[in-house]
């Protein structure tokens, strides 16, 4: 493995500016949302760590990153297994390693490892026949199985959507998409729904009617939508949100951090935040289109697909139109593992795009 000196003029600084802006706004919002000021300091440490890793990886080459795809994937499987043995259960999922004040979620390594491996694998393998899905499926299966054992349904969906984004860009025949949609329509009521645990079924039913359990499962969704609606056009002001500051919105610094922002900054602030995420995702896919190598395009699409999926699901949960899944709002919610992994992934995106034209 050889180190290299980065050329600052070869980077897409628009993506850097968008990522830093969202991260800084997230810290700013967290200062109002966090129930404990110590959480802000932990998030600041995670931001600096993630930023440092994103800078450090720039001394590597694209070739080195893809050469580490399979070792990183293998490491992620080992970590996902170990967390079931020695991990700590948080919010019903045994998905965390705890080292003193620090917590680490191996899911973040698994997401990156799987996307990198699929990008390498599918570069020279077209997806035209049914058995062409066999090898990608065998790579994704152990990751999905270990996540479901935790259980972490939200993380499982992110991994699956990242894999689907890679397959989509690789080129899926229309007939395969139609067959997949029909199979999903059959499996949801016959296999998936009966397999869900009672609390998971209740989360789905709460989306249809949150007032079926207004003091239980529906409480957080009801309070979140009240907070978002009470923000009005311009919001109530920084730190002045009554629903969030008085503690009516649970998990207001993680799952429902969007409700804090919407109540304090109103419709104008919401449009600005959504605009930043839209620009970030559009920039990611624009960079993918600029890469001549298929593997590079697949990797960037996988990263962009996972980030986009998390944004849509987190906002959908806060608005009460999707079941609660525990997914953070990338770069914005409290969560050290998520923030470090997202910044590191974007650092790899910058590196791959930088080296796109090298032989």
What are the pLDDT digits (tens) for 226-266? 889 888 888 888 888 888 888 788 888 888 899 999 999 99
The partner residues of 104 in beta bridges, in order of sequence, read 97
> DSSP alpha helices (H): ranges in the chain?
13-33, 37-56, 62-67, 69-86, 107-122, 134-149, 153-171, 174-187, 193-195, 198-208, 219-230, 242-245, 257-290, 294-319, 336-354
Strands 88-90, 102-104: pairing is unpaired
The pLDDT of residue 286 is: 92
The pLDDT of residue 255 is: 85
Kindly state the tokens that stand for 351: 């590196």
What are the pLDDT digits (tens) for 51-104? 999 999 999 888 999 999 999 999 999 998 988 888 787 767 777 787 766 778
The partner residues of 89 in beta bridges, in order of sequence, read 94
Residues 6+ apart with CB under 8 A from 204: 196, 323
Q: How far apart are CA 123 and CA 111, in angstroms?
A: 18
Kindly state the tokens that stand for 341: 């992994």
The pLDDT of residue 116 is: 93
The partner residues of 270 in beta bridges, in order of sequence, read none
The pLDDT of residue 23 is: 95
φ/ψ (deg, to 5) at 94 = -90, 80
Q: How far apart are CA 345 and CA 348, in angstroms?
A: 5
Residues 6+ apart with CB under 8 A from 274: 315
User: 330, 350, 334, 333: which is closest to 342 by C-alpha?
Assistant: 330
Say whether 93 sits in a helix, a strand or coil.
strand
The pLDDT of residue 351 is: 93
The pLDDT of residue 262 is: 93
Say whether 89 sits in a helix, a strand or coil.
strand
Quick count: other Cβ atoms within 10 Å of Cβ 351? 22
Residue 161 half-sphere exposure toward CB, CA atoms < 13 A: 17
The pLDDT of residue 86 is: 81
pLDDT tens, residue order, the chain (359 aa)? 556 676 676 788 899 999 999 999 999 999 888 878 888 899 999 999 999 999 999 998 889 999 999 999 999 999 989 888 887 877 677 777 877 667 788 888 899 999 999 998 888 777 667 667 778 888 888 888 888 887 788 888 888 889 888 888 887 777 877 888 888 888 888 877 777 778 778 788 887 878 877 777 788 888 888 889 888 888 888 888 888 888 788 888 888 899 999 999 999 999 999 999 999 999 999 999 998 999 999 999 999 999 999 999 999 988 888 888 878 899 999 888 889 999 999 999 999 999 888 77
User: How far from 73 is each of 90, 107, 187, 350, CA to CA, in Å?
Assistant: 24, 11, 29, 21
The partner residues of 90 in beta bridges, in order of sequence, read 93
Q: Angle, to 10 degrees, between the axis of helix 37-56 and the axis of helix 13-33? A: 170
The pLDDT of residue 275 is: 95
Quick count: other Cβ atoms within 10 Å of Cβ 343? 24
Q: For residues 123 and 168, is the Cβ–Cβ distance under 8 A?
A: no
């Amino acid at each position: 493995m050889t180190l290299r000196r980065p050329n600052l003029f070869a980077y897409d600084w628009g993506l850097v500016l968008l990522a830093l802006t969202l991260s800084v706004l997230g810290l700013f919002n967290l200062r109002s949302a966090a129930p404990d000021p110590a959480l802000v300091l932990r998030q600041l440490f995670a931001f600096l760590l993630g930023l440092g890793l994103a800078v450090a990886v720039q001394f590597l080459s694209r070739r080195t990153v893809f050469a580490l795809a399979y070792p990183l994937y293998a490491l992620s499987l080992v970590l996902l297994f170990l967390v079931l043995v020695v991990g700590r259960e948080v919010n019903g999922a045994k998905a965390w390693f705890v080292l003193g004040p620090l917590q680490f979620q191996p899911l973040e390594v698994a997401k990156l490892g799987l996307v990198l491996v699929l990008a390498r694998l599918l570069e020279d393998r077209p997806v035209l026949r049914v058995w062409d899905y066999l090898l990608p499926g065998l790579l994704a299966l152990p990751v999905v199985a270990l996540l479901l054992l935790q259980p972490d349904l939200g993380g499982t969906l992110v991994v699956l959507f990242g894999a689907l984004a890679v397959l989509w860009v690789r080129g899926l025949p229309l007939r395969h998409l139609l067959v997949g949609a029909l199979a999903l329509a059959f499996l949801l009521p016959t296999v998936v729904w009966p397999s869900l645990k009672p609390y998971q079924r209740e989360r789905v039913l709460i989306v249809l009617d949150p007032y079926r359990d207004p003091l239980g499962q529906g409480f957080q969704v009801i309070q979140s939508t009240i907070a978002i609606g009470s923000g009005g056009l311009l919001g109530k002001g920084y730190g002045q949100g009554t629903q969030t500051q008085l503690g009516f919105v649970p998990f207001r610094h993680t799952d429902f951090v969007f409700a804090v922002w919407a109540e304090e900054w109103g419709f104008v602030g919401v449009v600005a935040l959504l605009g930043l995420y839209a620009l970030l995702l559009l920039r990611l896919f624009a960079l993918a289109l600029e890469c001549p190598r298929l593997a590079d395009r697949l990797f960037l699409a996988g990263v962009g697909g996972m980030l986009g999926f998390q944004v849509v699901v987190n906002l959908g949960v806060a608005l009460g139109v999707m079941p609660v899944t525990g997914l953070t709002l990338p770069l914005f919610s409290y969560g050290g593992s998520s923030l470090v992994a997202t910044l590191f992934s974007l650092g790899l995106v910058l590196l791959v795009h930088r080296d796109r034209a090298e032989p």
